[in-house]
Amino acid sequence: MPQGGDRTASEKFEFDLMLSSIADLYLTTRILLIVDFTYLTRFWTTLEAWCSMQTCAPAGLRPATDNEKRYEITFILNAKGVLTNETIENAVWKKSPQEMVTILGSTDVAVTNAKDKAQQLPKIQGTDEHVREVFKKVKSRQALPLKIVLRLGKWKRRAKMNTSAKVAPMPSEAN
């Protein structure tokens, strides 16, 4: 993701698109959590931990079982030998979207750009409903894999947002 304030218009568009999709990424892929002492005091790292410990199901979002685990935790710096997997898991694993909005919205969870909190907290609040909607789309599209349905939704939204931007072809469109 392009960082910094000197982004071109195209980079800003791309950054905003990626930012709007980041929770879907964390909810559907394997995640390596690289944990230091400040991990649970930072917005984005706490969000990635929570998302990686959830499972998307037709009934909505729920805490992942041991068999559904999609994350690995590695401790670095002063967190080595002091923090444990259980420390991180107990902080976020079984939290509901509403509980995470409260945690992430608190003043002791820092974020570099306050706009990120304002933009992401409503999305987190609606995560459970979003997951149910995606599963309905999956069922209506004859059980396409969840990752493809999420990608299709983002791709269509991107095309509508900026028809002049170069939109990468879907894998099925590339020859």
List pLDDT tens digits, range 40-89.
999 999 999 999 999 999 999 999 999 999 999 999 999 999 999 999 99
Q: Which residue has the tokens 């933009």?
A: 119
Contacts of 8 (CB under 8 A, 6+ apart): none
Q: How far is it, in rounded angstroms, from Cα 52 to Cα 48?
A: 6
pLDDT in the model for residue 163:
46
Six token digits for residue 22 = 């980041």
In this predicted model, what pLDDT tens digit does every residue of 130-164 receive, in sequence order? 899 988 887 776 555 666 656 655 555 554 544 44
In this predicted model, what pLDDT tens digit does every residue of 30-54 receive, in sequence order? 999 999 999 999 999 999 999 999 9
| Residue-range domain boundaries for the chain | 17-128
Q: Residue 32: phi, psi to the nearest 5?
A: -100, 115
* pTM of this structure: 0.73
